[in-house]
Structure 1
């Protein structure tokens, strides 16, 4: 595999990379993550999963030298977009873009990449509030530009090899899942000991909708639950490392599949 960072390429190298490679854009946020995780948690975690996935692809390429082996993806990694759509976290602290602004930012970045010679682009998201906006942006952009675009949120692409997953609290927010990942990736940034979460009654509707299939939002819920969705006190670094590996392996497979399907 050939991977490079956009920031370190010359414009000629960017043009050449766009001929048969794919551009990869990580997207995060800056927002409250309760009292034990930093504002940049979503950005830090999506970068960690992306970098681990690219490292796995590099390892696969090094191990497979047979002439009949599948082509390895040529990836140009963009700097992470550190801001997202986080108005629901402004009660504490956040740097938030409106939905329309974030959609316009996606449009401008995608348009710039196509103008610069890229015709295959993947967006990897690290913040739940960005997900719908990101998916709509790539759908709309592919209607008007000669481009193939893929999008995913990192927690949705998993290898499926770990039977100890906890889908009931994944991805959550500032809870067991994110705290475990941060303990594995950036332990110095986690304020420990992580306090146990006081149960909140009734449970927030955004996390426990009253009927399957409903999306329910009620004013003031995030502040009422002190900014987290579940108890993070049982988070574990070793478990977090396994969770990160599962997502990285899943993303590596997704990148390879997108590359093969869009050549």
Structure 2
């Protein structure tokens, strides 16, 4: 296994390794995360999960710099640097198109922010229609256990960031991490499977979905998320190598 950093390769080196490699693009956001976590929490966490995954046995991977901006208009009540949905989808489409032009035939996006999910899925589906490639995408928290988001700026993200970047987690202040009451409608819809939103709900909830006051560094959680991402990369490699020439390229260079 070789992990290469895209921004450290020459163009000739990139062209040589692209056909047999998976291009891996982490994406995050810059948005409010309550009183304790920094705006870049989503980007920091997806980078940390990817870094853990890349310590395991994997196929050839070329890692792109993380895209630090995402779809976060619902956090502008406090602070966010956000793209629109159409812009994010276009940015992802153009990055994927460029990677195809560089010679990649297998591409994967790893997402760290729930708001990016729908534009990411549309960009992936569109890329596979435009090009003879295999493209995958995932939210890092749902790999191996698909389900709803584990919350925002609450216990899950705080526990992960305490493990990954403890110096960036602010001390608990009175009321800063309390669960909103009643819980926000988008986090607790009134019927299973229903998507429900209400104007002003993020501001009313204070930017958090659940109480993080008892959060502690969870290194096992971080390691487990990295292991599941590594398993997903291996599965994607096994499912696509033969059909996109990677196996032939590897055998030709052996």
State whether TM-score is above 0.5: yes
One of 206, 214, 223 as aligned partner of 1:245: 223
Aligned to 2:189: 209
In 2 relative to 1, CA 123–183 (structure 1 residues): closer, same or farther, beyond 3 Å? Answer: same
CA distance in structure 2 between the aligned counterparts of 1:169 and 1:23, rounded to whole angstroms: 27
* RMSD across aligned positions (CA): 1.7
Q: Does 1:234 align with 2:214?
A: yes
Secondary structure at 1:215 match in 2: coil
Identify if the C-alpha distance between structure 1 residues 169 and 124 changes in structure 2 by more than 3 Å, giving closer, same or farther: closer
| Pairs aligned (count) | 240
Query: Corresponding residue for 2:245?
Result: none
- Which residue of the other structure, out of 135, 140, 150, is the alignment partner of 1:154? 140
User: Counterpart of 2:150?
Assistant: 171
Q: What residue is the counterpart of 1:185 in the other structure? A: 164
Counterpart Cα distance in 2 of 1:19 and 1:110? 14
TM-aligned CA deviation for residue 20 of structure 1: 0.7
Q: Distance in 1 between matches of 2:229 and 2:132?
A: 24
Q: Quote the offset at 1:189 in angstroms.
A: 0.3
Q: Which residue of 2 aligns with 1:86?
A: 72
Q: Residue 62 of structure 2 aligns to a residue in which SS? A: strand
Runs of 4+ with >3 A deviation: 194-201
| Corresponding residue of 2:204 | 224
Checking the alignment, whether the CA contact within 8 Å between 1:45 and 1:182 is kept in structure 2 is yes
The separation in 2 between residues aligned to 1:159 and 1:209, in whole angstroms, is 20
Find 2:62's aligned residue among 64, 76, 98: 76
Deviations along 1:140-177, one digit per CA (max 9) or x if unpaired, are: 110111110000000011489xxxxxxx9952000000
Point out the more displaced range, 4-13 or 151-160: 151-160
Preserved contact between residue 182 and residue 190 of structure 1 (Cα < 8 Å):
yes
Structure 2 residue runs without a partner (length 5+): 242-254
Alignment map for 1:1-263 (pairs within 5 Å)? 1-57=1-57, 72-158=58-144, 171-193=150-172, 195-196=174-175, 197-237=177-217, 240-263=218-241
Unpaired segments ≥5 residues, structure 1:
58-71, 161-167
**What is the rounded CA distance, in whole Å, between the counterparts of 2:7 and 2:180 in structure 1?**
45
CA distance in structure 1 between the partners assigned to 2:173 and 2:27 by the alignment: 26
Instruction: Name the structure 2 match of 1:68.
Output: none
Q: Which residue does 1:163 correspond to in 2?
A: none
Query: TM-score with structure 1 length normalisation?
Result: 0.88
